[in-house]
Amino acid sequence: QSALTQPPSASGSPGQSVTISCTGTSSDVGFYNYVSWYQQYPGKAPKLMIYEVSKRPSGVPDRFSGSKSGNTASLTVSGLQTEDEADYYCTSYAGSNNLVFGGGTKLTVL
Amino acid sequence: QVHLVQSGPEVQKPGASVKVSCKASGYTFTNDAITWVRQAPGQGLEWLGWISPHNSKTNSAQNLHGRVTMTTDTSTGTAYVEVRSLTTDDTAIYYCARGGVLTGYESWGQGTLVTVSS
C-alpha cells in the first residue's frame, strides 16, 4: 500500500481555522470510514484526535473536526491556538487487515 | 488506567536482530490487539503490523518482506516485535499501541529507540 498524501506544511494565525487534507485511493480512504487523525509533538508519542472519520475521543476539544469526501479526508482545526502547533498524521484502513499512514503535516501557528 | 510500558533503547549492528517489548496494564490484555508503529529520525509514522493476543493472529506490512515477527505472552500481558536482518534504515523509535486496524489508537507506549550502526 502507498502512503496517504498530506501537505508537508500548513499554517494559520491564532483564532483562524486551518484544514489539512489526506488523499488516498478508492481502496482505502474512499472505500472505508476508518480514517483517524493523530497529533504529535516533538519527542512524544502520537495522540488520537479523530477516529472513524469524524468522531472525537473524550477530552479532545471540539475545535478539532474531521470529514471525508471521496478519496480525501480532512482535519479542520478551528480557533487555532498556539498549543495546536504540532505534526498531524492521518491513517486509513486499507483492507485485508492493513493500515496506511499519511506522510504527516507540520502545522505552524503564526 | 491503561499503561503500555516499553523496553529500553537498543543498539544493534547491521545484520543482527532486535526484540522490543511492550507490557500492558489497566485492561484485559486479550480483549484488544496490539499494533506496532515506527518513526525514523525526522520522518513520519510507519505502520508495522498488529497482533491479537487472543488468538495470536497477526498481519505485517508487506514492505517489511517478512523480517518482522510479532508475538505476545498472555501470562505477563506483554507484546513483542522482533526485526531481523537489520539495516541502518531500521533505525527508528518503535511504538506499541492498543488496538487493531479499525480502531483509533488512544493508548501508546513511550517508544523504544532502536539504533542500527556498525
* Per-residue buried b or exposed e for B57-90, using 16+ beta carbons within 10 Å of the residue's own CB: ebbbbeeeeeebbbebeeeebbbbbebeebeeeb
Predicted confidence at residue A42, as pLDDT, reads 95
Q: pLDDT by residue for chain B (118 residues), tens digit each?
A: 999 999 999 999 999 999 999 999 999 999 999 999 999 999 999 999 999 999 999 999 988 888 999 999 999 999 999 999 999 999 999 999 999 888 899 999 999 999 999 9
- Contact call for B110 and A45, based on CB within 8 A: yes
DSSP state of A27: T
Predicted confidence at residue B64, as pLDDT, reads 87
Q: Compare CB distances from A48 to B35, B46, B105 and report the shortest one's residue.
A: B105
A91 contacts chain B (CB < 8 A)? yes
- Contact call for B62 and A103, based on CB within 8 A: no
Predicted confidence at residue B95, as pLDDT, reads 98
Radius of gyration of chain A (CA): 13
Nearest C-alpha neighbor of B24 from the set B2, B53, B52, B49? B2
For B100, nearest residue in chain A (alpha carbons): A97
pLDDT tens, A58-86? Answer: 999 999 999 999 999 999 999 999 999 99
Q: Compare CB distances from A89 to B35, B45, B95 and report the shortest one's residue.
A: B45
The grid coordinates listed for B12 are 544493534
Mutation target among A44, A87, A98, A99 for the B interface, most CBs of B within 10 A: A99
A100 contacts chain B (CB < 8 A)? yes
Mean pLDDT by 10 residues, chain A (110 residues): 90 97 96 97 96 96 97 98 98 94 96
Largest CA distance in chain B: 41
Task: Please enumerate in sequence order all residues whose Cβ is within 8 A of that of B60, keeping only pairs 6 or more positions apart, or say none.
Answer: B48, B49, B66, B68, B70
User: In chain B, what residues touch A96 (CB-CB under 8 Å)?
Assistant: 59
Strand partners, A97: none
Predicted confidence at residue A61, as pLDDT, reads 96
d(C-alpha A109, C-alpha A14), whole Å:
6
Nearest C-alpha neighbor of B69 from the set B56, B79, B82? B82
B interface with A, Cβ–Cβ below 8 Å: 35, 37, 44-47, 50, 59, 61-62, 95, 100-106, 108-111
